[in-house]
Amino acid sequence: MKHYILLLLVFSAGLASAQEPGKDPKTTEVWAITPPTISPGAAYGNAPSDAEILFDGKDLNSWSTPDGKPAKWEVKDGIMTVAKGTGDIKTKGTFGDIQLHIEWRTPAQVEGDGQGRGNSGIFLQERYELQVLDNFQNVTYPNGQAGSIYKQTAPLVNACRKPGEWQTYDVIFMAPRFSDNGRIAVPARITVIHNGVVVQNNTEIWGPSQYIGLPYYEKHGAASIRLQDHGNPVSYRNIWLRRL
Ligand code: MG
C-alpha cells in the first residue's frame, strides 16, 4: 500500500510538471541585469579597467600621513618602501566593501626575528590589520603571522615566499554594518588569497586590531587603507582596488 501511494505521488508530480506552462528554458534566463564589461589586467595582478589605482609606482599622491600631511615613504624604481620612523601612511580616499590587490616584499637582508622581521601591515578601514610579516622560516604566534587577522585569526597555511621576493595579497573585504544605536549589526568579513593560496576564507573580524586585550567594535563609516611603519623597510607595489 505504501508503495502504491508513493507511486501515485510520483506519477501525479510528473503530470503536474508536464502540465506546467514554464517548460521553456528561457523562462529562467535573466536578462534585466547586465554585468559591466571590463578588461582584466594584461598579466596577473595588473589592474583591470575599472580599478582605482592607489599606487602606480610613480608617486604617493593617493597617500598621506594619518593626520593628512604628505606621505614620506621612499618611492624608487616603481616601488614604495617604508621610511623608518616617518609613520604609517593612509589612502586619501575612503572605502567600504572592496576587492584589494597589493604586492609586498620584506627585506632580502634578514634582520631580527619573530614580529621584528619584515613587519608591516595593511589596516582595512584604518582598523582591521591584515598582517604583513616575513614568516619564511620565522616563527611567531600564529594569529600574528603573515596572512593573519592580527591577534584574531591565524592563516589557514603559511604561504610565504622567501625574504626579498614579491608576494601578493588579493583581498575581499566586507565592511561591518552598524545599527543606529551604534552597536555592531553585521561584523566585517575578509577573504585573503596569499600568493594564490586561500589563507582567510570569509573570516569574521571581531573588531579593530588590538595589540593588548580583546577587540570590540565602535561605529564608523567608510575609511582609508593604512599601511604600517613598523620600523622595517618593507616595500609595496601595484596597489589597486575595486569597490564592491
Ligand atoms: Mg604589522
Is residue 98 domain-shared with residue 191, that is, in the same domain? yes
What is the CATH number for 113?
A: 2.60.120.560
Q: How far is the CA of 92 from the centre of ligand 1 (A)?
A: 21
The confidence score (pLDDT) of residue 11 equals 44
Q: How far is the CA of 213 from the centre of ligand 1 (A)?
A: 16
Q: How far is the CA of 132 from the centre of ligand 1 (A)?
A: 6
Instruction: Compute the mean pLDDT over every residue in the chain, rounded to the nearest whole number.
Output: 92
The confidence score (pLDDT) of residue 42 equals 86
Is residue 30 domain-shared with residue 108, that is, in the same domain? no
Q: Report how far residue 29's alpha carbon sits from residue 106's, in angstroms, rounded to the nearest whole number.
A: 49
Residue 95: half-sphere exposure toward Cβ, Cα within 13 Å: 28
Q: How far is the CA of 122 from the centre of ligand 1 (A)?
A: 8
Q: How far is the CA of 219 from the centre of ligand 1 (A)?
A: 23
Q: How far is the CA of 135 from the centre of ligand 1 (A)?
A: 12
The confidence score (pLDDT) of residue 235 equals 98
Is residue 24 domain-shared with residue 104, that is, in the same domain? no
Q: How far is the CA of 119 from the centre of ligand 1 (A)?
A: 5
Is residue 10 domain-shared with residue 80, that is, in the same domain? no
Q: How far is the CA of 190 from the centre of ligand 1 (A)?
A: 17
C-alpha cell belonging to residue 226: 593604512
Is residue 119 domain-shared with residue 211, that is, in the same domain? yes
Q: How far is the CA of 153 from the centre of ligand 1 (A)?
A: 14
Is residue 21 domain-shared with residue 97, that is, in the same domain? no
Confidence at 14, pLDDT banded by 50, 70, 90? very low
Of residues 38 and 99, more confidence is placed in 99
| Number of compact structural domains in the chain | 2
- Note the pLDDT tens digit of each residue in 107-165: 999 999 999 999 999 999 999 999 999 999 999 999 999 999 999 999 999 999 999 99
Is residue 19 domain-shared with residue 131, that is, in the same domain? no
Is residue 29 domain-shared with residue 149, that is, in the same domain? no
Expressed as residue numbers, the domain containing 234 is 41-243
Instruction: Fill in the amino acid letter for 203.
Output: T
Is residue 110 domain-shared with residue 70, that is, in the same domain? yes
Is residue 123 domain-shared with residue 215, that is, in the same domain? yes
The burial class, CB within 10 Å (0-12 / 13-18 / 19+), for 54 is: buried
Q: How far is the CA of 105 from the centre of ligand 1 (A)?
A: 13
Is residue 114 domain-shared with residue 208, that is, in the same domain? yes
The confidence score (pLDDT) of residue 40 equals 87
Is residue 62 domain-shared with residue 174, that is, in the same domain? yes
* Residue-level length of the chain: 244
- Note the pLDDT tens digit of each residue in 154-178: 999 999 999 999 999 999 999 999 9
CB 194 within 8 A of CB 132: no
Q: How far is the CA of 12 from the centre of ligand 1 (A)?
A: 64
Q: Report how far residue 222's alpha carbon sits from residue 59's, in angstroms, rounded to the nearest whole number.
A: 24
The confidence score (pLDDT) of residue 38 equals 81
CB 72 within 8 A of CB 90: no
